Amino acid sequence: MSVFDSALEQLNRAAKLINLDSRVFEALKKFEHIIEASIPIKLASGEEKVFSAYRAQHNSWRGPYKGGIRFHEEANLDEVKALAFWMTMKCAVVDIPFGGAKGGVKFNPKKFSPADIENVARGWVEAMKDSIGPDKDIPAPDVNTNAQIMAWMADEFSKIKHKETPGVVTGKPLEAGGIVGRDTATAQGGFYVWQEFLNKKSLASEQVSVAIQGYGNAGYNFAKLAQQAGHKIVALSDSKGGILNLEGLDIEAVMEHKKLTGSVVDFEHADNISNEQLLETKCALLVPSALENQITGKNASKIKAKAILELANGPTTPQADDALFGKGVYVLPDILANAGGVTVSYFEWLQNQENSKWDMDMVQKKLKHSMVSAFDLVWQKHDELKTDLRTACFVLALERLSMAFSRKNLV
């Protein structure tokens, strides 16, 4: 099953459960716009290359399109479509006034110079200039993109439009109109969701063991928050492999090791394991924070975690959801658990639109309110409908999208 097929299956399950209006259902299966483009670049080496670029704009019933852009050599339209679809649902779950979009460039920045990366970033904006804008579609960082790349994109758009337009993207550096707390927002939002789950299960005072797949921004910051709260990080991994120490890992020492060697593998105070073994580690909480389709029908029966918090997009397939739900494993789904990123992106967009500046206290307070409110409503749906938390999230999102559909009288 492709990533987008998995997304449609999730939609189908929730739609059947609430007898969703067929017009809404059919509309949500389609995209309002899909843009494919080529980015011709003269590299620093003098070689000329052309990179494939995509932007999928799924739905704008609730507001402008919003979604990241990833630079990855395996980026493809199916993946981008799935991520755009999930972004529509994510924004509806946390009730922010955006629709879903996603972008990608088939490009591995790790193999190119900073000048080449800047040229690709500016080339993407040139290719998409008529399709993006602060009231139309607002990109953000994703896999292999960062604040610097967003600054280049905002600058290029401003040059093209002959007007300073910082609100065209979010996730920018602070000096370029960014917002405090954006770099840790995905992890922080996920941690608020995890805390609320522990409260619901009356486990808030207990120390739990945590295994994290993906030791990038989201995985590292979640590990810090979990450790500060007294929990024990027993396993970590990146694209090259993983490490395990059931007594607990020193996450800062692991990060220093990763910076020096390029991977968490061979950390001296741990055993090396594969990413597959990490997923099957005995722990209270498993945190997939890497790429899609990691937990599938093939390995779901081997998962020993009591709960899964999805900081990655689409790490669990529908077949795995069925198996996990059947054996009582709670999956705190991506469209809720990792929505802290887009929520703080919304705050950044507001800050740019209002020409204001938010402080950390305001960002954290509003983020916690958004995540806790969304979790409580999802938990109510889960209780009422006797369904898994992912389907409960989709039901909440579909109810809000249906209201937007009715308001706009879309047919």
Rg (CA), the chain: 20
128 within some domain? yes
Residues 6 or more apart whose Cβ sits within 8 Å of residue 175: none
Paired strand residues for 237: 213, 242
Note the pTM of the prediction, 2 decimals. 0.94
Domains contained in the chain, number: 1
What domain range includes position 82? 31-176
Closest among 241, 227, 338, 329 to 286, alpha carbons compared: 329
Q: Tell me the CA distances in angstroms from 144 to 104, 106, 201, 375, one per residue in order.
A: 10, 11, 36, 29
The residue with tokens 């479509």 is 81
**Is 9 part of any domain?**
no
Answer yes or no: is 64 within a domain: yes
Q: Is residue 121 part of a domain?
A: yes
Cα 211 from Cα 229, distance rounded (Å): 15
Q: Which helix (H) or strand (E) holds 386?
A: none
So which residues are the catalytic ones?
Answer: 102
pLDDT at residue 206, as a whole number: 77
* pLDDT tens, residue by residue, 60-71: 999 999 999 999
Between the CA of residue 368 and those of 48, 403, 406, what are the distances in Å? 47, 25, 30
Residue 86 scores a pLDDT above 70:
yes
Structural domain contains residue 161? yes
Q: How confident is the model at residue 410 (pLDDT cuts 50, 70, 90)?
A: low
Q: Residue holding tokens 């970033």?
A: 121
C-alpha 271/C-alpha 269 separation (Å) is: 7
Residue 321: inside a domain, yes or no? Answer: no
Q: What mean pLDDT comes out for the span 265-290? A: 96
pLDDT score, position 201:
86
Does 103 fall in a domain?
yes
Of the candidates 376, 356, 378, 379, the residue with the CA atom closest to the CA atom of residue 368: 376
Q: What is the pLDDT of residue 366?
A: 98
Answer for the pair 153, 122: CB distance below 8 angstroms, yes or no: yes
Indicate whether 12 belongs to any domain.
no
Which one-letter amino acid corresponds to residue 244?
A: L
List Cα–Cα distances, 411 to 61, 135, 217, 408, in angstroms: 12, 23, 41, 9
pLDDT tens sequence across 130-180: 999 999 999 999 989 999 999 999 999 999 999 999 999 999 999 999 999
Q: Domain of 62: which CATH number?
A: 3.40.50.10860
